[in-house]
Structure 1
Amino acid sequence: MRALYTWGCAAAIWLVASLTASAQTLSIGMSGSEVSSLQNDLVAAGYLARTVDGDYGSTTKEAVALFQKAKGLPVTGRADDDTRAAIERAAGAGYRPGGGVVYAEGNRGSMISDMQVRLQAAGYLKGGIDGVYGEDTTNAVRAFQKAKGIPVSGVIDEMTYGALRNEDTSSVSYEGEREEEESGDRGSSLYSIGDSGSDVSSIQRKLKKMGYLDGAVDGIYGGDTASAVKAFQSDEGLSVTGMVNGDTLSRITSEYAAQSGETVLSPGDSGKKVIRLQNKLLLHGYNPGSVDGIYGEGTAEAVRQLQAEENLARTGIADGDVWDRLDSAPRFTGNYKKVFRMEATAYTPNDGDGRGMTAMGAYAGKGHAAVDPNIIPLGSEVYIEGYGYAICDDIGGAIHGNIIDVGVDNYDQAYKWGMKPKVNVYLIR
């Protein structure tokens, strides 16, 4: 049984901020709570299928531009008052043909490389595979969409993403890759000054824990991050550029794993670390079947699903790469049956009767939520904006109507979450 917290201070701060905030046009490079609110509305309107991170990057810009085009507004990619009001009105009222934007021109990273490999395998990408979503990739995506009967936009939306994931890449072989492997140079920069997002946060987190980064882990690749990368590259005998290419990223990952001693979990393991793994899998939308502290086939299959989607070897073993993905912000696929506008509070495993178990017998924590079964049936899977995925397997004496109590691991996380008066909760299944 879970108790409902009343966060009066948090509610007051929210109310004051709501009344005093001045409207401004949001555009690429901006960040903060207003951007998060815009992204939440874009997700609810079916135009964005990425994590709500508060950073106005390439994906958000393209989602806004697509919305503007669809609604007959001036297509600028910037969210002015008219655009923001229209997006807010559209939230929960429909779904964009093709689904929300997953990747767009301007994005970089290993997942873009994976999409490029698939476009090349399908015969649409003529340029190199460099992990940079540029004009060549946009044109290839347009051609792919036209051939597959997908609405042509040049962005990788959910429908395009699903179609590309089904492409056979076994026959792909390109000269540039062989040359890079032979020379030891794994290609051009994947991340550099000006980039932002969860991938940059992951790099910063590793550099900070290894003692190279003095600045904040904020997901923004600025001067502090570039200096930290240069110092790391110098120590490791790599080319000192301040930019993260394939070699640097691989070395950061391996050195971090060696220094941090991240626990590798595999089938047959049990205990609190397995509970943590199972709850994190739930938070990211990978259901291990049960949260019982036993690494069985359900947990192994959930790990394999994550590995497949992240283009990792499907071993079913939770190694450093798996933990790294699970430590990043959950990504919303945009697929849902129904959306609720709810008040959201938080609780820890020590709340209620103190047993640390949900009403349905799972170990409580992140990835679980208490609901009113008359609103959301017990056992349902939901996505909660600003939180992630959860199984609704708990109840509470004060949880009635459109209220959801999200599971967290400790009181610091509960106070940080506070009380959120209007949160979109998406019923997945």
Structure 2
Amino acid sequence: MAYGFDTLQIHAGARPDPATGARQTPIYQTTAYVFRDADHAAALFNLQEVGYIYSRLTNPTVAVLQERVATLEGGQGAVCCSSGHAAQIMALFPLMGPGRNLIASSRLYGGTITQFSQTIKRFGWSAKFVDFDDLDAVAAAIDDDTRAIFCESIANPGGYITDLDAVAAVADKAGLPLIVDNTSATPYLCRPIEHGATLVVHSTTKYLTGNGTVTGGAIVDSGKFDWSASGKFPSLSEPEPAYHGLKFHETFGPLAFTFHGIAIGLRDLGMTMNPQAAHYTLMGIETLSLRMQRHVENAEKIAAWMEQNPHVDAVTYAGLPSSPYQDRVAKICPKGAGALFTVKLKGGYDACVKFVDSLELFSHVANLGDTRSLVIHSASTTHRQLTPEQQEAAGAGPSVVRISIGIEDADDLIGDLGQALDKAHS
């Protein structure tokens, strides 16, 4: 039977605990698991049998979360890890190698731009940043060493919506996997695999958990990419020495990437999600649809109000009729354009700082996707490491404030924004 989203967000991956009958998924706070016998242990270590060995690799609480996120995204499998940044590295790890590159959207979270433009150089990888509205430029940037294309469904900080179908067509023509960060949208608003994504990554820290308590990440595998077709992905298509010549794609088929992520990615990189974090995230996902509906409802009302405020130069929310990306909402995010956007204030940098400092209900934090409304001046914080040109390209210039709308009373939020805007321009 095909269940609806609201049912799956509560039940997918979970069963009553077989030992106790506990209805809620227990926190399996253990590092290791007892093997039945020596043959059982050998089969697990040879990947001949699926089971639990050591919690750096697999844990029953985390396994429930992996199945739930994969189910909601429409994927074959998922790997959870310690943060969204860990998820990005783990997504790239089986694909890349020294001298290889990826094509990345210029509209990305500032930390991702830094990770891709600076940190991955230490692995011998590189990234080419391109405006993904220019599909010809995306295609032109691809060369023989390109191994992936990366974008966000709803870009942080500006709420820009990527035309995933169009980008996926470019990726398919080049025989490359498309990796989509779906953090800002969640599978409730957008399911990138249905638009051609190969892999979906999440910072589960944000909307999936929804309560600002734990960090986490996830990589969802669509199971649809042919890793053996081009010879460009030997980690998945060629014999793996650590497992006696096992070929992940040949052996595991549509679950090849997922098994590689656990058996090699978590084994050697160690970016493990702890079971308590998985438990908090499972609790959050149970109300995901309800929260996202309220997030969107509030964001639409508040963005429209801010667009009319005399102290505001511009609002980037894609759900506004004035947005150049509104036509993508119905196609990519049919249930709404999310709750993340930026506002450009009259008065520039100084007005932005005063505005942020004058807010009372909004929390000034380096996070988004909380039940609480959040605000940050990206140019001086999350995008501080970028050049002025990169800040502008990412939609995080000095006169821009990022707003993450929560699920409080919208009129209360408007009241707080109004008094802060007045103080910032007094």
Q: Same fold (TM over 0.5)?
A: no
Interval of TM-score (by shorter of Structure 1 and Structure 2): under 0.3
